[in-house]
Amino acid sequence: MSVWALGINHHTAPLDLRGRFAFALDQIQPTLNGYRQSLARQPEATLLSTCNRTELYGAGDQAAVEPTLEWLAHTGGVSTHVLRDHAYVLREDQAARHAFRVASGLDSMVLGEAQILGQMKDAVRAADEAGALGTTLHQLFQRSFAVAKQVRTSTEIGAHSISMTAAAVRLASQLFEDLKDIKVLFVGAGEMIELAATHFAAKTPKAMAIANRSLERGEKLAGRFGAEVMRLADIPDRLHEFDAVVSCTASTLPIIGLGAVERALKKRKHRPMFMVDLAVPRDIEIEVKGLSDVYLYTVDDLATVVQTGKDNRQAAVAQAEAIIDAGVLSFMHWMEQRDPANGMVPLIQQIHAQADAWRSAEMARAKKLLARGEPVDAVLEAMSRGLTQKMLHGTLAELRAGDADTRAATAQTVSRLFLRDDPVKPPRNS
Per-residue pLDDT for 229 more than 50?
A: yes
Closest alpha carbon to 274 in 259, 261, 263, 285: 261
- Distance, CA of 414 to CA of 395 (rounded, Å): 7
Q: What is the percentage of the chain residues whose pLDDT exceeds 90?
A: 51
Q: What is the pTM of this model?
A: 0.71
Closest alpha carbon to 211 in 243, 194, 233: 233
Helices 404-418 and 376-400, packing angle to 10 deg: 140
Please write the tens of the pLDDT for every residue from 119-136. 999 999 999 999 999 999
Q: H or E stretch including 396? A: helix 376-400
Assign residue 337 a region (left: φ > 0; alpha: ψ between -120 and 50; beta: otherwise).
alpha
What value does the mean pLDDT of the chain take? 87
3-state secondary structure of 231: coil
Per-residue pLDDT for 206 more than 80?
A: yes
Q: Cite the DSSP H helix spans in 114-267.
A: 115-129, 135-154, 164-175, 191-201, 215-225, 235-238, 258-267
Per-residue pLDDT for 309 more than 60?
A: no
3-state secondary structure of 228: strand
- What is the pLDDT, as a whole number, of residue 404? 79
- What is the pLDDT, as a whole number, of residue 430? 36
Per-residue pLDDT for 346 more than 90?
A: no
Across residues 359-377, what is the average pLDDT? Answer: 88
Across residues 333-337, what is the average pLDDT? Answer: 86
Exposed e or buried b per residue across 69-82, where buried means at least 16 C-beta atoms within 10 angstroms of its C-beta: bebbbebbebeeee
Active-site positions read: 51
Beta bridge partners of residue 55, listed in sequence order: 7, 48
Q: What is the percentage of the chain residues whose pLDDT exceeds 70?
A: 93
Q: H or E stretch including 245? A: strand 244-247
- Distance, CA of 200 to CA of 207 (rounded, Å): 10
- Distance, CA of 229 to CA of 246 (rounded, Å): 14
Range of lowest pLDDT (57-66, 77-86, 122-131): 57-66
- What is the pLDDT, as a whole number, of residue 308? 60
- What is the pLDDT, as a whole number, of residue 330? 92
Per-residue pLDDT for 349 more than 50?
A: yes
- Distance, CA of 300 to CA of 19 (rounded, Å): 12
Q: Using 50, 70 and 90 to split pLDDT, how confident is the model at 427?
A: very low
Can you give the C-alpha Rg of the chain in angstroms?
30
- What is the pLDDT, as a whole number, of residue 342? 58
Please write the tens of the pLDDT for every residue from 390-425. 888 888 888 887 777 777 878 888 787 777 665 445
48 within 8 A of 144, measured Cβ to Cβ:
no
- Distance, CA of 295 to CA of 175 (rounded, Å): 9
Per-residue pLDDT for 343 more than 60?
A: no
Please write the tens of the pLDDT for every residue from 159-200. 656 778 888 998 999 899 899 999 999 999 988 899 899 999
